Chains A and B, each alone.
Chain A
Amino acid sequence: MKHTLAVLVENRPGVLTHISGLISRRAFNIESIAAGYTEEPDTTRITIVVEGDEIEQEQVVNQLSKLIDVIKISDLTAVESIQRELALIKVKASLETRSDIINIVNIFRASIVDVSRETMVIELSGDETKIDALCQVLEEDHGIIEIVRTGKIALSRGPIPAKA
């Protein structure tokens, strides 16, 4: 099964090298990884989605915890959490097809962030399946030129932060 981990690390040069080095050395199966600043300037938060059974997942947590730069790891799979991914999709769009694309975008509650004579760029945030669904419709009906996705980020519901 998939586990979503919130990994709090020191905001220092080389931290991502240590994380990626470990993942490669231990041959862990990482589905997505997304890093960014947090409410504390010296802390970076990395959301990692791991595929594997309980034993593998325990190893990922244990081995990551061993890294000196890693401050704390929370498994957000075990608690109620909000999970989101952001995608930007550049789709083929002519004068004739624009209105259909706008309809699809509205249904998915996505937004159009750029238009040219031949293309549109659509922004969508949501869970993985929602983004997959939009991509599928756009690809089949209109043709996708390129996609960029952020990887999943996640936050627990309720008052308790991952650092607690």
Chain B
Amino acid sequence: MIMTGAEAIIESLKKENVDVAFGYPGGAVLTLYDALYKANFRHILTKHEQGAVHAADGYARATGKVGVVIATSGPGATNLVTGIATAYMDSIPMVAITGQVAVPLIGRDSFQEADIRGITTPITKHNYLVKTVEELPRALKEAFYIARTGRPGPVVVDIAKDVFAATFDYEYPLEVKLRGYHPVNEGNQTVINQVFEEVSSASKPLLFIGGGVNLSDSSSELREFVEQSGFPVITSLMGLGCIPFDHPQFLGMVGMHGTYAANMATTECDLLLGIGVRFDDRVTGLLSDFASKAKIIHFDIDPAEINKNVIAQIRVIGDLKWSLPALMKKVGGVSGELKERVRPWREKVLGWKQDFPLTYEQGKDLVMPQAVVEKVSQLTQGEAVIVTDVGQNQIWAAQFYGFKHPRRFLTSGGLGTMGYGLPAALGAQCGLPDQKVVLFVGDGGVMMNCQELATLADCNFPVVVLVLNNQTLGMVAQWQRMFYGGRYSHTSLKGHTDFVKLAEAMGVTGLRVSEPAELDKVLAQALAVQGPVLVDIRTPETVDVLPMVPAGARLDQMIMGG
């Protein structure tokens, strides 16, 4: 069919079942935006390209679909960089379509020219520069395929301005032929047999669950394995929700702000099954002493994750949708035996869980941030889609919300991007219009992309934005308090910003909680608002996130508290 490059992009998006794109127009993508207009394709106009890319990310995390973002050349494209890096670190499927200056102008430092392909090479799974309209369909087909298969990730397709207007005979390829890309979905059965031998002879086994379980949607397979094996379970930040928080074998999150039980179980276990995890430094603490008594079995679809940080004795390469059921087939027959064998260990670790739960001191004059999270959990029955920014708000949400389902805790885990939360919540709400989306954000992070409050209002997305306002950059200040002699260098955020007025100015309902007695009522009121709402909640300045393993310390060297 004869059409322009821009029309071909719309057709290709439809073929990839994309029903919405987030973006911001500009010179190089004018022709593409003209085609979006004519096709009446759904597009969410954010107020900043960074908002668009985080929204596409939040949409992808919430729905499991590929998030699509569009930006113009030069500054439009470079404004995507933080969001692309965020998606890359957490393996989020995304396709970023950027305009590039016209082919004759490339390389001449033209107006709004930036080498976005070069810039994004270290933070994308793959990227393209399309200079002829004929290569466009293949580039898009491959981009979506690469973004969503294997270990997912962001792909940039940079398209020269003249390609959008060029006409050609469009045909979307049916198949992808890539000589250098063959994700291993079904792995090696012999390895499963080896894993089974270890699993059936270990006396102190531990399941360590990560974001891979979320990404591969294999939470139900995991839960079955947990049931049948009787093994205790811990998760990383990214694995929260893959196992219900109230499951009797769940010990909590491991790592820097992990629970006592999870960190001690990791230190004491004799077999650690790392499932869809990447052994990040926030999880391992001092790497050389991480799970030092354990054999490690590493399950991952990405062979490059094996032995990157932690040396694994057995590697299980493949999709968890394959490996977990394959292992289950063997475990199912000896379920009773296994449960019995690990009973003493399970009782021991569950004792730790009971003796050292996550707690916090109650505040007097101001609302404790942890109490806000607990209250929201109660009011939403633990069913809301929780989005966070980065810092203390993120960890308190992780510790105290109590997640029941996968894909219901959206947070920038790997890159730790402040400013992520608000636009990501917007994207999540766009993808899940019938779900309650609640954002926990600090008074620092909310300002980094506060312009997207206006987008929430324009789209009438009923996101509940809860600003945990301690008038300080809480996590940085905590480190200054603990490790820098209390010298609060540039972490005080005491200023003149009125968040309620800020919200109202942008068309978002603004509410305020100044003292504990108001919390329940105002939260209930906020959750009932039809449309976006922001609640400015004043919390104490100096509350620490605990427990805490200082950077570079062993997991059992926790600073307890609460």
Contact = CB atoms under 8 A, between A and B. Distances in A.
A44 to B, nearest CB: 12
Contact of B181 (A9, A24, A55, A68): A68
A22 B122 contact: yes
A62 B304 contact: yes
Interface residues of A, number: 23
A159 interface: no
Interface in A65-108: 65-72
Interface centre among B121, B125, B128, B311 (most CB of A within 10 A): B121
A161 interface: no
Given A18-B121, A66-B304, A10 B129 contact: no
Interface string B428-445: 000000000000000000
A66 B184 CA distance: 12
Nearest to A18: B121
B306 interface: yes
B302 interface: yes
A164 B128 CA distance: 28
B279 to A, nearest CB: 13
A128 B179 CA distance: 33
Contact of A65 (B118, B122, B304): B304
Nearest to A54: B307
Chain B, interface size category, equals 20 to 34
Nearest to A15: B180
A92 B104 CA distance: 45
Contacts of A65: 303-304
A10 B180 contact: yes
B11 to A, nearest CB: 24
Given A62-B303, A65-B304, A14 B122 contact: no
B122 to A, nearest CB: 4
A36 B135 CA distance: 24
Given A65-B303, A66-B302, A71 B118 contact: no
Interface string B100-135: 000000000000000001100110011111000000
Nearest to B181: A68
Contact of A14 (B129, B180, B303, B307): B129
B178 interface: yes
B291 to A, nearest CB: 17
A13 B158 CA distance: 13
Given A17-B117, A59-B304, A62-B304, A68 B178 contact: yes
Interface string A2-33: 00000001100110011001101100000000
A139 interface: no
B139 to A, nearest CB: 11
A24 B179 CA distance: 24
A63 B304 contact: yes
Contacts of B304: 59, 62-63, 65-66
A58 interface: yes
A68 B303 contact: no
B307 A59 contact: yes
Contact of B179 (A13, A17, A63, A71): A71
A70 B122 contact: no
B62 interface: no
A26 to B, nearest CB: 9
Contacts of B122: 21-22, 24-25
B179 A58 contact: no
Nearest to B131: A13
A72 B181 CA distance: 10
Contacts of A24: 122
A70 B180 contact: yes
Contacts of B125: 68
B303 A67 contact: no
Interface in B164-209: 178-181
A58 B117 contact: no
A10 to B, nearest CB: 6
Contacts of B306: 62
Interface string B125-155: 1111100000000000010001000000000
Contacts of A67: 126, 180
A17 B303 CA distance: 22
Contacts of A21: 118, 121-122
Interface in B286-318: 302-304, 306-308, 311
B560 to A, nearest CB: 35
Given A59-B304, A59-B307, A68 B117 contact: no
A10 B179 contact: yes
Contacts of A62: 303-304, 306, 308
A68 B307 contact: no
Contacts of A72: 180
Interface centre among A9, A17, A25 (most CB of B within 10 A): A17
A14 B127 CA distance: 9
Contacts of B129: 13-14
30 contacts: A9-B180, A10-B179, A10-B180, A17-B118, A18-B121, A18-B126, A22-B121, A55-B307, A55-B311, A58-B307, A59-B304, A59-B308, A62-B304, A62-B308, A63-B304, A65-B303, A65-B304, A66-B302, A66-B304, A67-B126, A68-B125, A68-B126, A68-B142, A68-B146, A68-B178, A68-B180, A69-B180, A70-B180, A71-B179, A71-B180
Given A55-B311, A58-B307, 10 more contacts: A10-B179, A10-B180, A13-B129, A14-B127, A14-B128, A22-B121, A22-B122, A55-B307, A62-B306, A68-B181
In the A-B complex, list the 6 residue pairs whose CB atoms are closest, starting with the nearest: A21-B121, A62-B304, A25-B122, A68-B126, A71-B180, A71-B179
